Structure 1
Amino acid sequence: MDLQHFLNHNPESLAQYAQTVQQTQKLIQDCLSQQERVFSGLSPATLSEFLTQKILPEQGIPTQQVLQEAVEAIFSHSIAVHHPDCVAHLHCPVLIPSLAAEMLISAFNQSMDSWDQSGAATLLEQNLINFMCQLYGYDANADGTLTSGGTQSNFMALMLARDYALQQRGFTSQLHGLPNLAGRFRILCSEVAHFSVQQSAAILGLGMNAVVRVKVDKNYRLCSQHLVQCLEDIDRQDLIPICIVATAGTTDFGSIDPIAEMTAIAHEHNTWLHVDAAYGGALMLSDRHRQKLAGIHQADSITIDFHKLFYQPIPCSLFLLKDKSRFELMRLNVAYLNPEHNEDEGIPDLVTKSIQTTRRFDAVKPYIAFRALGREFFAGVVDRGIEITQQIAAHIEQDPQLELAVSPEMSTVVFRYRSTNAVNLGIKQALLQTGKAVIGQTEIQGKAYLKFTLINPLVTFDRTVALVEKIKRLGTMLSESPHFLQPAIEAGVGNQKSKVKS
C-alpha cells in the first residue's frame, strides 16, 4: 500500500499533495480561461456518452489523467456560475478567499459534531454564530448552527416550533412521537414562500395540508390583513397555529414580507415567528437596505444562506435561534460522542444542536472572507446588485414588447415577452441549448414568465440589456415560426460535440 496517497506530515505525502494541487490549479485555470459561454449546450443524452469510464477499476489510474478526464468530461460542461449571463437562480460565483478556506477544510477534515473531532474549529464556529446573532439583533441568550442550506434551516425552525408547541401542551415528540393533537397544528406562510415549508411539514408528520397559504399584495409580499383573517379562521376551527413564516427575499420575486407587522401578530397569537432570510439576509450588511429587514431581531428563528449573497461555496447556511434553551427540544447525548459530563467539564459538543452528526467546518469560509474583505465590500456588492436590477427593470418596463411582473425589491427581475407561454418557454430553452445564457422561469396565474436573478457582481447594465435584446429577437422568431430555431440549436450542439471529441 502506497501511504503517500494519504495527506500527512511526511515529506513524500506533502510533495505529492503540492504536485496534485498545482496540477488541479492549472486545470481549473485552463478550463475557466476557455469557458467563453455559460454552458456547452450539450443534451443529457450526449453528455452521458462522455461518462462511460469505469468508476472503480481494479488498478488505479494516474491522478493527473483522472483529473484531466474529469475536467474535459464534466467541468467543461458544467454551468459557468461566474458568467454574467448565468442569471437563472440564486447561484453565486465564489470568492477567492473562500476557495482558500475550502482547501483548509478538506485538508484538515475536521468534523463539527464533537470537540475531540474538531478542537479549535468548534470555537471558531461558535464565535461566528455569536457574531451573526449580534448582527441580527439577538442578545447573548441566542445561538445557532451551520446547516447545508436554507431547506435544512427552515426544517429545523419548523421542527423546533412543532416540538415547542407540543411541550407547551405537555407532550414530548422525541419520546412518544406525535399525539393526535398534532393533527390540529397549522403553519402559515405567504403563497409565494419557499417550497421547503410544505416539504418540512410533510416530513415532520404534519402533512402539506397543515400549511396555510396567506395571500400576497401586488408586490408579492404577505398581506398582514389576510394573515389576521387566516388566524381568526384557524381559531374558529379549533386549530392551533404553531409557526408563522416570513420570507425576506422570495425565490421568484425577491419580495420581503412585512416582518415587524408579522412579528407583532405572531406575539399576539402566542405563535413562533420564523424568518426565511436565505436570500435577503445579506441586506443587514448594507446601510442603504438594512431597514428592509426591520423587526427581524424579534423573530424566534432566522434562516441565512452564506452561499447566496455572501458568495460562499456551497454548502454554507446558518440557522439562528433567539432562545437557545429551545435547542434542548432536540438534545440527545450519546456515550461515545457527547457524554453528558462533557458539558459539566466545559467541553463543547456542537452535535446537540444539529440534525447532522458528521458535518464540515463550513464556518471558516465566511470567517476568512469577512476578515479578508470587510463589511464595506459585501455591502457594496449588495447595493450595486440592487441598483442594476432596478435599472434593468425600468428598461424592461419601457419596452412595449415586454411585460414587467413587479417592481423589484432586491435583485430579481420577473418579466415576459408579450406572446404565448410556449414562446416564453422556448426562449429560455433556446438560450440554454445554444449556451448563450441561463435564465430562469416561473409561472404567474397560468402565464409563463422569464426571470433574471442578478446577484453576480460581474453583471453590468449594458451586458444585461444585450441579453434582453437577444430575448426579444428570439421571441420574434419563435412567434413567427415556432420551429425557426431548431436547426440552429442542432447545429450549435453538433459543433460543440465535434469540438469536444477532438
Structure 2
Amino acid sequence: MNTAPPAVHPPAAALAGGVAGADALRELVRVALAAVESGARARGGPLPAGGPEGVAAEVARVLGTTAGAALPAARGSAAAGPSPSPGPSPNPGPDPLPALGVGESVALRELSTLFAWGAADPADPRCAGHLHCPPLAVAVAADLVASALNPSLDSWDQAPVAGALEVEVVAALAGLVGFAPGAAGGVVTSGGTESNLMGLLLARDGLGPGVGRRRILCSQAAHFSVRRCAGLLGLGEDAVVTVPAGADHRMDPVALADACRRVLAGNDRIAAIVATAGTTDLGAVEPLPAIASVAREFDTWLHVDAAYGGGALFSDRLAPLLTGLDEAHSVGLDLHKLGWQPIAAGVFLVRDAALLEPLAQRAAYLNPDDDEQAGYFSLLGNSPRTTRRADVFKIAVTLRALGRTGLGALVDRCHDLARYAADLIRAHPRLELVADPVLTSVVFRYVPERPVDERDTDRINAALRRRLLHEGRAVVGRTEIGSGPGAVRLKLTLLNPHAGAADLDALLAAVLDAGRAESTQPG
C-alpha cells in the first residue's frame, strides 16, 4: 500500500527553479543586495582594515563563535566591521551549523553583510593586486540564472540548452583563436590550471608508447601550475624542463630548441612544449610563431597558456601580440581575467576535436550509445569533470551583449590605464619601473631615499604592501624578478575599466606614503 510522504515540519525552504522560483528569489535577492550595499559601505575601501586578526574576529562575532575573540590585537587601527544585522542575537549556537537555524532572510542578511564588508573588492580602483577582475553586472545577473536552474553539463537531459550553448560558444572562441571552422573542439573549464592539466593530459596520452621519460618544456616564467599538473599526471614535477627567458622576459626559441636536443640526447621524450601568452607578472607574450616552429621540428604537442593574454584577442590593438596562437594543438583562455566574468570562466580549446578522444567516457546512466545515435549528445567526453556547472551561460550572455568590439574597448581601456601608471612610475624618483606594460600589469618597486642595501629595499617593499593591506587602503601585488637580494617587486594588475587617472594617482600616492613610513622602521 502506497503512503504519502510525511509532512515537512517546519515547512521546507523555497526552491529557486520552476515557475514559483522567481517569486522566492525576488525577495531574497532584494535582501542580499541591500546587505551587500551595507557591507560595502561599512568597509569603505578596497578591503577591510585590521588584517587577518580583525577579519577573523569579525567572522567569529557574526557566527557567535569565540575563536576570533581570543586572537591578538592587530597593529594599528582596528576595523569597525559592519553593524550587527537585525534578527535573533546571539546566534542559536556557537557554530556555523547551529541546531536551530536563524531563518533564510536573517542568515542571508547577516552573512552577505559580513561577506561584502570582508571582501577584497576588485571593483574598487585601489584593489589592483591580482588577475582578479570586477565582473560585469550583466554576467553576474546571468550567473544567477544559471545558479537558479542548476543545469549540469554531463548529459543532455540535465542541460538541453546549456549544452547546445557551450557548443556554440566554444566554436565562436575557437574561431577567435584562429582555429579552422568546424574542426576545432573544446570545453568550458574552471580556469587556467584545469586548462593546462587538460592540454598536458592530451599531450601525454597522445604520445604513444616508447622508451624514455616524458618531459615537458616551458619557460622559466611559465605558470606554476605546469609543474603541478605534471605531478598530477604522474610524470613528476621534475619532468618539467625550464627554458631560459631573454631580456624581454619571454622564452628564447633558440634555447628551447637546444633544450629539446638535450632531452632527446638523454634518451627521454618530449611530451609537450608549453608557451605562455601573458605571463602572470609582466604579461609577456612569448614568440608563438618561433615556438611553434620548434614544436614542428621536434614533432611535439604545443599547448599555449593564454589564460591572461587571451583577452587581447578582443582588441584590434593587442590581438597581433597573439599571432601564431592558431598553430597550437591546444589553448587555454580565462574569461574571468580580461573577460570580466565571475569566477570561474576558463575555456580549453583544441584545433581538432578528435584530439579530445583520450577523454572519451561511456556511462550507461549518462550517455548511452543509442541516445547519442538518436541525437541526444553528451559533453561528458570533453572534460575530466562529471558534474559541471553551466558557466557557459554567463559567457554567452556577455559575448552577445557586448560583442567583440565592446569587450575590446574594455581591454584597451585597461591597457591605457597600465601605460598611464607606467608613465607615472617612470617619472617619479622614488619609484622604479621594471618594464613597459605589455597587457594590463605594471611591475615596479619603491626606492628608499636614504642609502640602503638591496635587502633593506626588499624589506621595505614587502612591508609597505602589508601596511596598505592592514590599513585597508590598497591591494597591491608582490612578486620577485630574478633571485637574491633586490628581487622583490610590487605589481599593479589593472582590470577595472571604470578606474581613472585620479584613481591611479591616489593609488601610487598611497604606495609612496607607505614606503616612506616603512623606511623609518628599523630593519
TM-score, normalization by structure 2: 0.86
The question of whether the paired residues in 2 share the 8 Å contact of 1:219 and 1:407 is answered with no
Runs of 4+ that moved beyond 6 A = none
Match of 2:241, SS? strand
The worse-fitting range, judged by mean Cα deviation, of 97-106 and 335-344 is 335-344
Aligned match of 1:194: 223
Which amino acid is the alignment partner of residue 351 of structure 2?
K
Aligned match of 2:14: 5
The worse-fitting range, judged by mean Cα deviation, of 36-45 and 302-311 is 36-45
Q: How does 1:387-402 map to 2 (within 5 A)?
A: 387-402=416-431
Aligned match of 1:105: 146
Identity %: 36
Aligned match of 2:467: 430
Aligned match of 1:118: 159
Q: How does 1:455-466 map to 2 (within 5 A)?
A: 455-466=495-506
Compared with structure 1, are the counterparts of its residues 272 and 10 closer, same or farther at alpha carbon in structure 2 (3 Å cutoff)?
closer
Aligned match of 2:176: 135
Aligned match of 2:37: 29
Give the alignment partner of residue 370 of structure 2, picking from 341, 346, 353: 341
1:446-502 Cα offsets, whole Å, 9 max, x none, are 22111111111122233212222222232223223349xxxxxxxxxxxxxxxxxxx
**Counterpart Cα distance in 1 of 2:233 and 2:53:** 37
**Counterpart Cα distance in 1 of 2:18 and 2:218:** 53
The question of whether the paired residues in 1 share the 8 Å contact of 2:426 and 2:433 is answered with yes
Which amino acid is the alignment partner of residue 437 of structure 1?
A
Q: How does 1:70-109 map to 2 (within 5 A)?
A: 70-109=111-150
Q: How does 1:351-370 map to 2 (within 5 A)?
A: 351-370=380-399
Compared with structure 1, are the counterparts of its residues 475 and 48 closer, same or farther at alpha carbon in structure 2 (3 Å cutoff)?
closer
1:39-69 Cα offsets, whole Å, 9 max, x none, are 1123333333333252222332221111121
Match of 1:229, SS? helix
Compared with structure 1, are the counterparts of its residues 130 and 227 closer, same or farther at alpha carbon in structure 2 (3 Å cutoff)?
same
**Counterpart Cα distance in 2 of 1:248 and 1:270:** 21
Shift of 1:8: 4.7
1:170-208 Cα offsets, whole Å, 9 max, x none, are 7xxxxxxxxxx4x51111111011001000001111111
**Counterpart Cα distance in 2 of 1:8 and 1:333:** 30
The question of whether the paired residues in 1 share the 8 Å contact of 2:17 and 2:149 is answered with no
**Counterpart Cα distance in 2 of 1:319 and 1:18:** 35
The question of whether the paired residues in 2 share the 8 Å contact of 1:87 and 1:438 is answered with yes
Match of 2:134, SS? coil
The question of whether the paired residues in 2 share the 8 Å contact of 1:150 and 1:303 is answered with yes
Give the alignment partner of residue 198 of structure 2, picking from 133, 145, 156: 156
Match of 2:105, SS? helix
1:368-412 Cα offsets, whole Å, 9 max, x none, are 112122222211111121122122212212322222112211111
Aligned match of 1:495: none
**Counterpart Cα distance in 2 of 1:288 and 1:391:** 16
Which amino acid is the alignment partner of residue 455 of structure 1?
L
Match of 2:249, SS? coil
The question of whether the paired residues in 1 share the 8 Å contact of 2:275 and 2:305 is answered with yes
Match of 1:281, SS? helix
Compared with structure 1, are the counterparts of its residues 222 and 14 closer, same or farther at alpha carbon in structure 2 (3 Å cutoff)?
closer
Compared with structure 1, are the counterparts of its residues 370 and 114 closer, same or farther at alpha carbon in structure 2 (3 Å cutoff)?
same
1:479 is the counterpart of 2:519: yes
The question of whether the paired residues in 2 share the 8 Å contact of 1:146 and 1:318 is answered with yes
Q: How does 1:11-22 map to 2 (within 5 A)?
A: 11=20, 14-22=22-30
Shift of 1:4: 5.4
1:80-108 Cα offsets, whole Å, 9 max, x none, are 11100111000000111111111110111
**Counterpart Cα distance in 2 of 1:356 and 1:415:** 39
**Counterpart Cα distance in 2 of 1:10 and 1:102:** 18
Give the alignment partner of residue 262 of structure 1, picking from 273, 291, 294: 291
Aligned match of 1:488: none
Match of 1:59, SS? coil
For CA contacts below 8 A with separation 6 or more, give which structure has more relative contact order.
1
Give the alignment partner of residue 478 of structure 2, picking from 413, 430, 441: 441
**Counterpart Cα distance in 2 of 1:421 and 1:270:** 44
Shift of 1:9: 4.0
Shift of 1:33: 4.6
The question of whether the paired residues in 2 share the 8 Å contact of 1:187 and 1:211 is answered with yes
Which amino acid is the alignment partner of residue 283 of structure 1?
A
Give the alignment partner of residue 144 of structure 1, picking from 180, 186, 194: 186
1:312 is the counterpart of 2:321: no
1:207 is the counterpart of 2:236: yes
Compared with structure 1, are the counterparts of its residues 200 and 10 closer, same or farther at alpha carbon in structure 2 (3 Å cutoff)?
closer
**Counterpart Cα distance in 1 of 2:18 and 2:447:** 64
Aligned match of 1:39: 47
Shift of 1:154: 0.5
Shift of 1:10: 6.2
Aligned match of 2:84: none
1:287 is the counterpart of 2:316: yes
The question of whether the paired residues in 2 share the 8 Å contact of 1:83 and 1:458 is answered with no
RMSD of aligned alpha carbons: 1.7
The question of whether the paired residues in 2 share the 8 Å contact of 1:135 and 1:284 is answered with yes
The worse-fitting range, judged by mean Cα deviation, of 372-381 and 89-98 is 372-381
The question of whether the paired residues in 1 share the 8 Å contact of 2:277 and 2:284 is answered with yes
Count matched residues.
469
Shift of 1:244: 0.7
TM-score, normalization by structure 1: 0.90
Shift of 1:325: 1.0
The question of whether the paired residues in 1 share the 8 Å contact of 2:476 and 2:491 is answered with yes
Compared with structure 1, are the counterparts of its residues 123 and 208 closer, same or farther at alpha carbon in structure 2 (3 Å cutoff)?
same
**Counterpart Cα distance in 2 of 1:469 and 1:389:** 16
The question of whether the paired residues in 1 share the 8 Å contact of 2:282 and 2:442 is answered with yes
Compared with structure 1, are the counterparts of its residues 482 and 78 closer, same or farther at alpha carbon in structure 2 (3 Å cutoff)?
farther
Shift of 1:3: 4.0
Compared with structure 1, are the counterparts of its residues 25 and 317 closer, same or farther at alpha carbon in structure 2 (3 Å cutoff)?
same
In terms of fraction of residues, the more helix-rich structure is: 1
1:402-428 Cα offsets, whole Å, 9 max, x none, are 221122111111111124111000110
1:454 is the counterpart of 2:494: yes
Aligned match of 1:65: 106
The worse-fitting range, judged by mean Cα deviation, of 337-346 and 252-261 is 337-346
Gaps of 5+ in 1: 171-180, 484-502
**Counterpart Cα distance in 2 of 1:251 and 1:225:** 23
The question of whether the paired residues in 2 share the 8 Å contact of 1:217 and 1:223 is answered with yes
**Counterpart Cα distance in 1 of 2:511 and 2:404:** 36
The worse-fitting range, judged by mean Cα deviation, of 241-250 and 468-477 is 468-477
The question of whether the paired residues in 2 share the 8 Å contact of 1:247 and 1:277 is answered with yes
**Counterpart Cα distance in 2 of 1:433 and 1:236:** 53
Compared with structure 1, are the counterparts of its residues 288 and 8 closer, same or farther at alpha carbon in structure 2 (3 Å cutoff)?
closer
